[in-house]
Structure 1
């Protein structure tokens, strides 16, 4: 069957959400076009410096590859965090990531939870479980990753931090926050970023309208050897996100394009809510680490978790030995 776009090459990909059959080249161009459209809408092309938060997975590769197709690589700098998960974080994966980014002209900065927080994720979970806390690894990991990524963005004077969150990730996050009733966090997931603290670097998601299966196929067609191993904490203790993901995949299977529809309608709704909501100008800062925290909180969630796990002395503000 012939590609619906170029009408010259053999089609290799069927897009259920568009009904198109695409050849390999037109498929890659289709993904790049959507990433470029989303990026231009938020002004990435006008930025002087963009920090790319990369993990080494398929989305990281697609993020870097699509952005360098229309942005000068000298304006991009990558940042990777080693969480410290036994059997999951591998040195060869980081070296492969560095080699690939270097081929694109992008520098890679390395960091780790051990170096910047004082503990690996495995250590945090060990102490947390020892204290009888019912806290998932994703809660520790997500909070500290966001904090370190933002700090790195500030350190390099980035105008934006770009993450590799795809369409599946984005819609899952929307549904989760709807369930939790977190209006403020919800409207920050929309297409136009909101800056609620002078200490925040605006976070953007250029892949937010690209399906996860598309990033996987894009990486495969481009010959990337990305990490396929799933984080062991997800399989040993399924989170709300995992359950929401399963439900959304069922809906998408029954009606292709459902995820895109949810995201596009959410963006419209978020715009209306933002126009009608009085947002406070500046988030308060944590009394311990000095980083932004939620309204009404004196201590940020990250520091609170370390205190609860017995890893941080609140009075001395020092890691526990």
Structure 2
């Protein structure tokens, strides 16, 4: 058994990037230091910030809130927001909320909640049923205009989190995206040759568009494996159940491929993301048209956007029309 690099205690983990052995105490301290370094290097949080943490009940966001509380305690304003997207299989959404609520009560951090069914009159369960109808039953075919549930869920979450942050005067929105997430997303955008999305990747999404709150990712350089181990050793309660609708997510297959590459080429994800930030992102951002950088407000909802009508309003309208025209919707089995 290996000994911790900094003491004589048995190591509980080998850090994926450099295979450094660490005991429980020094591993937790190591993760805190790396998150602090990311925050300081990219100026993610200042003493004047009011930070909204997007909380889902999963390991990433639960870990993020715990670490930010550990680092800042009462030095900055921190609140959490849970978006109930309405996933009933395995009681996913309700259980997620209970886990998020328990952590916020433990840390004495205010927890806010938005129910999208109240806001939209439909939820992700409805979207799932609609998808079955649009693509022909439970064995849905790929392609067509109807995207996967994860795509719609992500869009709704981003919109309502940003809207809540604007209305309540938050200056930053913190999300639990980790290094594995970011490497997967970067590779997916590369496959799609989506230069605009690649240009916006990074530990922070800065914007001068009024009504779009800056998003930050303090866990940007922390591997998912490290977060799993941190949550275990720091005893962070989180929901381990996966959303049933996420099984067909295209990014899942890309993630598996990235993990396989990491097995025989250690550090691939870290160096790919880091070098992209240093070398390619500045060049890519220069290719985005001034029109897409210009400040606009959605002509329907009034929120900040880069287009006349924001993606949320366009998608909401299309889904509402599809729901109205599908009289069989309520009869589709979950």
Q: TM-score, normalised by structure 1?
A: 0.88
- Please say if 1:84 is aligned against 2:86: yes
Shift of 1:92: 4.4
> How far apart, CA to CA, are the structure 2 residues paired with 1:77 and 1:274?
34
Structure 1 stretches lacking a partner, 5+ long: 314-321
Of the candidates 256, 260, 271, which is equivalent to residue 246 of structure 1? 256
> How far apart, CA to CA, are the structure 1 residues paired with 2:295 and 2:251?
26
Shift of 1:98: 1.7
- Please say if 1:9 is aligned against 2:19: no
Shift of 1:16: 3.0
> How far apart, CA to CA, are the structure 1 residues paired with 2:125 and 2:225?
30
The alpha-carbon distance between structure 1 residues 41 and 255, as it changes in their structure 2 partners (threshold 3 A), is: same
- Asked if structure 2 preserves the Cα contact closer than 8 Å seen for 1:36 and 1:67, the reply is no
The alpha-carbon distance between structure 1 residues 250 and 16, as it changes in their structure 2 partners (threshold 3 A), is: same
> How far apart, CA to CA, are the structure 1 residues paired with 2:205 and 2:305?
17
Shift of 1:128: 4.5
> How far apart, CA to CA, are the structure 2 residues paired with 1:310 and 1:98?
31
- Asked if structure 1 preserves the Cα contact closer than 8 Å seen for 2:103 and 2:237, the reply is no
Shift of 1:70: 1.9
- Asked if structure 2 preserves the Cα contact closer than 8 Å seen for 1:11 and 1:22, the reply is yes
Shift of 1:200: 0.5
> How far apart, CA to CA, are the structure 2 residues paired with 1:300 and 1:180?
21
> How far apart, CA to CA, are the structure 2 residues paired with 1:127 and 1:139?
14
Task: Write the mapping of 1:1-321 to structure 2, written as runs, cut at 5 A.
Answer: 1=1, 3-43=3-43, 44-73=45-74, 75-87=77-89, 88-131=91-134, 133-235=145-247, 238-273=248-283, 276-277=286-287, 280=290, 281-295=293-307, 298-311=308-321
Of 224-233 and 190-199, deviating more is 190-199
Shift of 1:157: 1.0
**Deviation digits for residues 183-233 of structure 1 (CA, Å, limit 9, x no counterpart):** 222121123432051111100100011111111111111222311111111
Structure 2 stretches lacking a partner, 5+ long: 136-144, 324-334
Of 114-123 and 255-264, deviating more is 114-123
Q: TM-score, normalised by structure 2?
A: 0.85
- Asked if structure 2 preserves the Cα contact closer than 8 Å seen for 1:127 and 1:311, the reply is no
Shift of 1:278: 6.4
The alpha-carbon distance between structure 1 residues 48 and 293, as it changes in their structure 2 partners (threshold 3 A), is: closer
SS in 2 for 1:134: coil
Match of 2:329 in 1: none
> How far apart, CA to CA, are the structure 2 residues paired with 1:244 and 1:275?
24
> How far apart, CA to CA, are the structure 2 residues paired with 1:163 and 1:200?
15
> How far apart, CA to CA, are the structure 1 residues paired with 2:70 and 2:85?
30
SS in 1 for 2:320: coil
The alpha-carbon distance between structure 1 residues 183 and 194, as it changes in their structure 2 partners (threshold 3 A), is: farther
Equivalent residues, number: 309
